[in-house]
Structure 1
Amino acid sequence: MSNTQIINSTIAHATVNQCAITYIRYKPVNKPPEKYIKSIQLDLFSQFVTNDKSEVSNTVEVWESIPKYFFTPKQVEKLRTKTGHADPYKMEFSYDGISCSVKIQPALIEQKEGGYKAFFPSVTEELVEEALKKYLTIQNYGIHDVNKAETWVRFSLSMIHRELKSRGRTRSRNEIKHAIEVMNKCNISLFKDKKEVWSGAILQDLVTVGREEYLADTDAHHVGRLPLFISHAINRLEYRQFNYDRLMSCDEQLSRFIYKKLINRYRHANLINNYHFMFSDLKNSGLLQQKRDIDNRRKVLSALDELKEKNIIANYDTHERKESRAINDVKYTIFPSNQFISEQKAANKRVNDTEKQVLDTKNIPLDTPR
């Protein structure tokens, strides 16, 4: 295949489609590259259309569509046995009309008092991952090997602590250290049509400092490999710019989930083009865990009210669909804020600028290995 064909193929596939859920398996590695790898793909991932790069980051829709951060302390406690262990948790969901399921094997973390306890990834792990993806866009903190489809991020506990604190999501260094351990030791298995297509940790092949080094220098760096989904997205331009600062300002997990959904699906937001989704669409997110649907619907309204408060949406309408007197679904129609419209236009310009830059650059095979 010629370079021109590869580039055209890249751009043609740089949108979300049903093939995006199928990935090639690669042999895992144990250590990050010893030498710096110059990566135009990572450079493109780090370029934004904005006046303030500190406010923006990237979303990878296919990876973030996999439910994994919905566990609450009460739910985890119910899943644990008397010994503190827990069986893997399975959940059905759909992605772009594809029938999928996810199996989450909890991390077994050794306790100070002895024994091991099971932990599933939850809200702190979600926030830490967002911080890591932000650091990936900053020079000298990311390493990407296009040929092996490997992406590494360098960080310290203090870096993440400062980042989360600056976004109003403060976590202690011990909480962050625990989250990193959970992200590294849990295992996510993804199934498409009941066939396993990927299995791995949220943060893989973690090279970390020991306790003595940590006590001596809380800024000592760790290096972790991010999931193949992110590497694949970097290789094929399948990511999207969004307002990271606004995301981190949202208090509710469901608000952040809906916001990401709007970023990836409501790409041409304007004042005469609204967007809608169904209550049933949200039920496979794992974030609606109330026993009664009436309480889950109230939770959706609370999330939408927060998005309105954060100036992400201007307003919303609800339309209940009933059978007799029972509500069997609800349609939510979203009207965007002017600020959200501007941010989506900037994200679209970034896509166009990136594609033009690829076409203007010769001998750059922006594609995953075969």
Structure 2
Amino acid sequence: MSKPFNEAEYRKRLIDRGTDPDTATDIASKTAASHNLQLQKEREEVPAWNANPRRGSVAVGKLVSRSDLPAAPAGAPSTKAALANTASEAPPKSATLKRRVKPSAAPKEVATSIAKKAAGSKGKQKGTVPVPDTAFNNRQLSLFQSFLANDDAQRDILSNAIDLWDSIPRYSVSRRRQDELRQPGGYLPIRKATFQYRGISLTAVVRPARLELRNEQGKPTGETVEYYPSAREELIEHALRRLATEQPSGFFDESQPRSGLYFTLYRLRQELAAQGHSMTHRDLAEGLDILSLGGLDIETEGDHDALGVRKFGRSTFIANLAGVKREDLDLNPNARWYVEFHPFVTASIDKIAYRQFNYHRWMQCRGQLGRWLISQLVLKYTQAAQATSFTMKYSTIKRDSGLLDGYKLPRQAVAALDEAWEELKEREVLASYTKAEERGARAKLIDVSYTLLPTRTFSTEQRAANKRQLDAKAAIVPHQETLL
């Protein structure tokens, strides 16, 4: 059996050799976690995991608090060395492409869980598959974690908008509307929402998550209820995506393929609170449950499958979640959770189908509609300039967002949309907008066209996003154009 590993002594040796103290702490912690994993294997105490091939996702059968995390590479190159290989074309002098690096909390004993992949093509369960060291430091991940910005202050407010994934109306049913739709026994119907992506008609099929109700003491009441992911879960998912751009949290494993991150609930709560969305531990845990249990399918019309979406199969909003028991958190508040993103997110990281955007501004929006509009402008208004306008129609926004379906009258929905445009002016996205109403018989409102002009700030952000994306694609050879 392996000898005990002295983390403190190893850290001291690293510092004596000239390693930065924070980096030394992180390396020592990762090495200790890897050593503990080896000890666990020797004791043949591999945790039990249950795969659900029918849903195409992995459900956790047992959560443990041992140090099971695979270690990030101890000899990982420095930030400058990693950046040297991210693009073949150097960014302009006024801006730098740099990865966000933040020191790990690095507790003495990291309590975590190892994720297991779903069954193979014949439904046979595979063995436990730890995330390999190479998944924490590779070209695709480096490009995803790097942002084009003038300084650290600008870089810290950036994240990634995912092309197809952020165009799916997946969080559009409010909690209030869910209460109206809920049937006896707490059931919700399977929801189908038709939308268009690059002129292709698609249908999002959302299956609700069924949760066990608990009392104030956290004990099960015996009742269950279903929820669709909504605004709260949208905020949680975006916060997780941003945390995945920090080293050494995020990973991209091309061999599986899969992408995601390791995180602590404290860090996630801290991130949400910093963006003005404080959540209790209970709310956050419930939101993660809904994301990991709620299903999402994408269906194409007819026999033509232009996006090749069928190859991804069915998945939950979070493809895999491994958590930590509350009693383990009491012993170690820094115990880490494991998340795998939806296959569409993984495919977008692989194909560089994402764009940097002002995540802080997005988080500060008062409502979902404003956030949706910002995401669409980031993804579609790529040539934003003060002399170049962009047009969006009320009918298109209603169809593709799903956020205006709750209004009884069109004029109420249009008023809500006008309010969202005004907020985008406040947030320095739009300099101005004009609207032209299309009316039919008896002055009935048929549609509204909005002509938008961006601010100089938003135009500059879009140019930086264009440059960053071009540099990233140039770094991947050969590059194949794809819709994902």
Amino acid at match of 2:421: L
Amino acid at match of 1:88: I
Whether contact under 8 Å (1:187, 1:202) holds in the other structure is: yes
Encode CA deviations 1:189-237: one digit per residue, 9 max, x unaligned. 1101167834211112211111211233333211011011111111111
Rounded to whole Å, the distance in 1 between the matches of 2:182 and 2:127 is 31
| Residues 237/216 of structure 1: CA separation in 2 closer, same or farther (3 Å cut) | same
Q: State the TM-score, normalized to the length of structure 1.
A: 0.87
Match of 2:465 among 320, 326, 347: 347
TM superposition shift of 1:269: 0.8
| Residues 39/32 of structure 1: CA separation in 2 closer, same or farther (3 Å cut) | farther
Rounded to whole Å, the distance in 2 between the matches of 1:166 and 1:92 is 35
TM superposition shift of 1:149: 2.3
Rounded to whole Å, the distance in 2 between the matches of 1:72 and 1:271 is 35
| Residues 91/194 of structure 1: CA separation in 2 closer, same or farther (3 Å cut) | farther
Count residues with an aligned counterpart.
Answer: 341
Larger Rg belongs to: 2
Whether contact under 8 Å (1:31, 1:205) holds in the other structure is: no
Rounded to whole Å, the distance in 1 between the matches of 2:386 and 2:439 is 29
Amino acid at match of 2:409: R
Partner of 1:250: 365
Partner of 1:75: 177
Whether contact under 8 Å (2:140, 2:350) holds in the other structure is: yes
* Secondary structure of 2:130 counterpart: coil
Whether contact under 8 Å (1:89, 1:105) holds in the other structure is: yes
What root-mean-square deviation, in Å, do the aligned CA atoms of Structure 1 and Structure 2 show? 2.3
Partner of 1:18: none
Rounded to whole Å, the distance in 1 between the matches of 2:362 and 2:213 is 33
Partner of 1:293: 410
TM superposition shift of 1:352: 2.5
Q: How many percent of aligned residue pairs carry the same amino acid? A: 28
Whether contact under 8 Å (2:319, 2:341) holds in the other structure is: yes
Whether contact under 8 Å (2:261, 2:340) holds in the other structure is: yes
TM superposition shift of 1:367: 9.8
Partner of 2:284: 176
Partner of 2:18: none
Pairing 1:39–2:138 present: yes
TM superposition shift of 1:114: 2.0
Rounded to whole Å, the distance in 2 between the matches of 1:103 and 1:93 is 11
Rounded to whole Å, the distance in 1 between the matches of 2:479 and 2:466 is 23
Partner of 2:421: 304
Encode CA deviations 1:311-333: one digit per residue, 9 max, x unaligned. 11111000001113111000011
Pairing 1:99–2:214 present: no
Rounded to whole Å, the distance in 2 between the matches of 1:275 and 1:144 is 35
Encode CA deviations 1:129-186: one digit per residue, 9 max, x unaligned. 1001101111111111123221121112111110011011211121111100000001
Encode CA deviations 1:68-123: one digit per residue, 9 max, x unaligned. 11111221112212211222111222211111111111111001222111011011
Encode CA deviations 1:49-79: one digit per residue, 9 max, x unaligned. 0123211011112011111111112211122
Gaps of 5+ in 2: 1-86, 88-118, 215-220, 304-308
Pairing 1:276–2:391 present: yes
1:44-59 mapped onto 2 (5 Å cutoff): 44-50=143-149, 51=151, 52-59=154-161
1:297-336 mapped onto 2 (5 Å cutoff): 297-324=414-441, 325-336=443-454
Amino acid at match of 2:242: K
| Residues 367/35 of structure 1: CA separation in 2 closer, same or farther (3 Å cut) | farther
Amino acid at match of 2:413: N
Partner of 2:295: 187
TM superposition shift of 1:286: 1.2
Partner of 1:231: 346
Rounded to whole Å, the distance in 2 between the matches of 1:26 and 1:155 is 27
TM superposition shift of 1:34: 4.1
* Secondary structure of 2:314 counterpart: strand
1:204-243 mapped onto 2 (5 Å cutoff): 204-243=319-358
| Residues 326/152 of structure 1: CA separation in 2 closer, same or farther (3 Å cut) | same
Gaps of 5+ in 1: 1-6, 8-24
Pairing 1:108–2:225 present: no
Encode CA deviations 1:334-361: one digit per residue, 9 max, x unaligned. 11011101101111111222234335xx
| Residues 307/367 of structure 1: CA separation in 2 closer, same or farther (3 Å cut) | closer
Greater shift after overlay, 186-195 or 314-323?
A: 186-195
Match of 1:135 among 216, 221, 243: 243
Greater shift after overlay, 350-359 or 205-214?
A: 350-359
Rounded to whole Å, the distance in 1 between the matches of 2:359 and 2:145 is 13
Partner of 1:337: 455
Rounded to whole Å, the distance in 2 between the matches of 1:26 and 1:53 is 40
| Residues 282/312 of structure 1: CA separation in 2 closer, same or farther (3 Å cut) | same
Greater shift after overlay, 32-41 or 176-185?
A: 32-41
Whether contact under 8 Å (1:235, 1:367) holds in the other structure is: no
Amino acid at match of 1:270: A
Rounded to whole Å, the distance in 1 between the matches of 2:385 and 2:466 is 13
Rounded to whole Å, the distance in 1 between the matches of 2:145 and 2:472 is 11
Rounded to whole Å, the distance in 2 between the matches of 1:327 and 1:335 is 24
Partner of 1:200: 315
Whether contact under 8 Å (1:36, 1:143) holds in the other structure is: no
Pairing 1:263–2:378 present: yes
